[in-house]
Structure 1
C-alpha cells in the first residue's frame, strides 16, 4: 500500500510531501524532482508568480545515494518568497502593529497583503471554508486551498512514476485536449511517453501542431478581456498490466480511484475514462471493445478499439489507460466578481489575488502525477513486494499464470 500526504500553506515557509510504502531500489535523485517541478511551472497563460518563485528541494528521508531504501520519503519544497510573508503567515502570534509594516520595500501593497480578507471570491473555497472552520476571514482557507499545494503532489507523483517504470515498464504522458472553446480534432493522434519533451516545449501542452496556435490566441484574448479560461486534459498510461483494481468492492475499482484522484485537483469539475460521455450516446453494438484472438500478443488477445480507456469492470485490461479531467476557468478573475464583505454584510467586489489566465498546461502535469500515484498504489496492491526486484518477480509470475488462462498450454492449477 502506497500512502501519501501533503502539508503546508501557499505562502508558508514550505510545502511537505510524505510518501509511505515506497519500495526499495527505485533510482531517483533530487534533480529528477526539480525537473518535475519545472514542468509544473510551464504553460502559456501562467502568472508572474511562476517567474520569480523558485522551488527549493530538500529530501529529509527515504533516499540514500540515489536509491530509495524502503523507509518513508519526506520531501520539503521551500518557499523562496517566505521573507515577504513571515509576519502574515507566522506560526506564532505577532503584535498587531507588525502587520502594518511593509517588508522593507516601502510598497503599500506589502501592507495590503496583511489585511484581513473579508470579501470571499466566488468559485474558491473562501466562503465555504470560512463557514466550516468558524473563521472571520479567508486567508487561512485560501492558503491551503491554493493550487500551490499541487507542487507537493507533483513531487510525489514523480516518485510514483519512477516506481511504475522501473518495476513494471509503465510509462505516462499528459497533454491538453482543449482550452476554452478550442479543441483538438476528435481523430487527432495521441502522444506517447516518447513525445513528452515535445509536449513540454509546446506553450499549452498540445500535441496537435495545428491546434496549439489557436489555443494561444484563445488565452491571449481572455487575458485582454480581463478574464480566465479552463479546458480539458488527458493522461495516458502505457504498459499497464492486466489486473490492477478489482470489481469486488466499490472502493477497489480502478476507474473510481482514478476519478477521485483527478477530482481532488483544485478546479477540476469533471472526469472521463476512455470515451466517457461520447460512449453514452452510442449503441451497445458499437460501444464496447471486442476481443480478438492474437497469437502474437503477450496474452494471446487484442482489442478492436479502446473506447473503455483500458479499464473494464474496475480492472485494467492491458490497453492504454486514458483519463480526462475538465478544469474550470480560474476563479480569481481580474474583472472582480460580485460577493459580500463578511465584515459589513454589504455587497462588494471580490478580493483579487495574483493569478494565472489559464492553468490548463500545468493541470495536465498535475493530473499525470495523481494518476501515477493511483496506479503505483494499485500495482503494489496487486504484486506486493518490498523492493523493485521483488515486484518484477511477482509481476512476471502473474503474467505467466494469465497466459495459461487465455491461450493454449498448461492448464491452470486447481
Structure 2
C-alpha cells in the first residue's frame, strides 16, 4: 500500500517490514539514522511510548502509538544533534473515518447515540476514542474476559454476559465495532437483544485476515434490515492513508492505496467476455435473456467481494485484444473466467494464450451450445478448462465465480 503510494507520487521512499523480538531492537531502529519513520505493530504500541520525545495528544490519550516520525535534519536552522521522535496513532483515525463515512442520515450522531465495542485490547481503546471524537458519549464494552474489560470501564458501561439485556438507560447501539484479534476469533454471536435499533446502524470489523469473520457473517443477514457492514479492509486503508500523510506531509493517493491493499488481500479473478456479448440484454433475448452485460459485471464484482475475491472485467469483440488481456493477467490473476462467444469454435490463438499464461480457467456459455447448431458444439478450450459451465443462463456467472473463488485460487 505505502510503496504503491510512493511510486504514484514519484517519491523515492521505500516501505519495508522487519520482525523484531525485543523492545531494544525497536530502539535500535529508531536510532540507527537510516529511516524517516517507522510503523509499529503489537506488542510494542504501548511500550514504545517511553522512547519518544513527543507524543500526539490523541495517541497519549489512547495509550498507544503505531506511527513514529523521525525528524533528523534541522531545527531552528541548525543541524540536530540527534533525531527527534514523534509518535502518532492512526488506528483511531481509520475507525473514526469509517464511522463518519458509513452512518446513514437516520443514524447521524445525536446526544443519545450509543456504541458497542466488542473486545478490550489496545484496538478497543482506539475504537472508544474514535467514537468519542465523532460525538458518541454512550459507549458500552463487552469482552469475553471480564477482568480485561474492567480496565476500560472507569468511564464506560460494561456488559457482563451475553445474556445481559442492553442497558435500559441507553438507546440501542447504532455503531458496533469488533476489536477481536484475528488470532483469537470469536466463538459467540452478538446477542439479538443488542441489535434492536429501529434505524439499524453500522457494524465495523477491524480484522481483515480473513475478511469474512464470524461477526461479519452474522451481520450479513442484517443488511436487509438496514445495517451497513464495514470490513477490516476499509479500516486498513483509512488508517494507512492517515499514516502516509503523517509520514510524508502530503495528500495520499487514496485510490492507489485502496487498489494496492485490495490486490494484496483478495484473490484476483479475471472475467472475460468475447464478441457480441456487449449486446446482452437486447441480443436474441429468447436465448440470452434480458440482463445487460454491465449488470452481470456489477453483480459479479459484488459476489466476488463477498467471497474475498477481486473481480476484474473485460469485454472485446476483437480476438487480439482478448489475447493481450490474457497475457496481462500472468502473475496477477489467480483464475480466469471466460465466455469466449463465437471465438470458442474458431480461436486456436485464445487457446494458446490461456495455456501460455498457465492460469486455471473456466469456460462459460449462457446457452446450452450442445443443443444448438453443429458448429457451436465444438470448443477449442473445453479440454483444457478446469470447468465448463454451460446452459445455466446468466446464473452461470455466479456459479463460475463461486467455483473459482472457493476452489481454483487455492490450488
Q: TM-score range by the shorter chain?
A: under 0.3
User: Which protein, 1 or 2, shows the higher relative CO under an 8 Å CA cutoff with sep ≥ 6?
Assistant: 1
Larger-Rg structure: 2
TM-score, length-scaled by structure 1:
0.25
Between structures 1 and 2, the one with greater helix share: 2
The two structures have a TM-score, normalised by structure 2, of 0.25
